[in-house]
Structure 1
């Protein structure tokens, strides 16, 4: 998915020290962002934000729907570039057609992971299919560590199994949880899983204490370690915990996405759809995209690629650390 903001902020993210992280669950509220033109669907963005820029290597989280695409026009994101990151597409309902400059032509469906590695540079398009009525899911980005940020472009597809646990079930699309491990390759240790908690139930899962975690609530009346986290909010949990307890106080199932990873030890610069390490990295990536080099072509999309926004006229100002 593209960041379609016309004036995207340029952010320096990362470098938060563990000593500065709170011991309890920190609730991050989303902001609404339009995805495209005047009839565009809107997404709820919880990462990055001023309070926290990364959770492990997870650096971007958009949550959208359920969106009636017959009223909004759905998702139609023209070819756009990415560098220095992996994109993670995960749906709850609907279907999205994916095309990229690697030549991949695939569909994003509920319960199926599509992971695209941008590395040195890739471009892709995303369009909800004509048969989709309700579009609902999350789009996530993972920052690549410095030694791998110029890796070759790649695309992986994986369908995880439903793993029953006390209180509900989990589907692990990245990393390991509840005795299940995803085979999908990442460049830093990561956790990504969909959790379903039964009505009135409590679920306790073992955690890697070296990881920090984020619980993104999609639906339900949920307590995360006793703290209420409402739908579309993200509960942050600092490293050090060996377990996570989720309580569904509602009469219907609760659905959540659990993200995790060890604190990312590098600062990154994010602007539009690029991740670099300096302002000059971003300038070069933008120039390459506008000049038609480096990112390849997306074939089969009916329309023109997205032009890059204008860069800010001021030098990069580093973000403050999370408190």
Structure 2
């Protein structure tokens, strides 16, 4: 049975690849895409989402969400995603429009319809999810789980302490982390283990599938971006988060007690996860990815892109 999901996203080069992977998977039923300001401003990411789902021939609604964080100014990461946010790839402009419902209303409606089976995959700041939880307090009882790309148990990429998605709206992240919904964190420290090396990229680009040409542009752009910071590999942050939903065996997790730093500007967005202890009054609230089977991730990526079938372990 296909698992119903909503993908909350801010496309974004790796978001593009994540949507591509989700669309090709034989295990996910994408109920819709919601957009949030993050990598780029809201109007740009929303148009990108519409263009991407047209390109992928993915017939699902797009709902526009938050244009800024709950309590802070919006700051984007355009420098890492190229002109237009898609690594220089120019897609035909979609003639479709986003639905009139804001993202948080759409999420709640879909959760009601799915009767406890809906999963959220959050690939950007958690503003939409937090807004939905504030407006619909019972939503936490209707969502099966949330898998999010964000946070880190090590260093960050926006500051030495914080990963961008959590740093962008730490108050929203705190609301989600305190919601009681089963959470799975695919953090920066894990996505930097599930990387594509030069030979992996060549192997992926030898495959024949409908998206080979655009995938070449995206991966070559990411190679150039990462080479500028001395990295000879390409992390696919958001695609790994989607892959972890498709294949539950891909990541090793541990259950922890997590908090988000919202008070200190120096440590803003820092995610701290501790082991549950008897003397610790905080209840465990997040399954944290500890490791990833990199070879299986690449095997899964190639298999799904080429055939639409999830390969066996």
Measured against the shorter chain, the TM-score band is: under 0.3
The structure with more helix, counted as a fraction of residues: 2
- After TM superposition, the score normalised by the length of structure 1 is 0.26
- After TM superposition, the score normalised by the length of structure 2 is 0.26
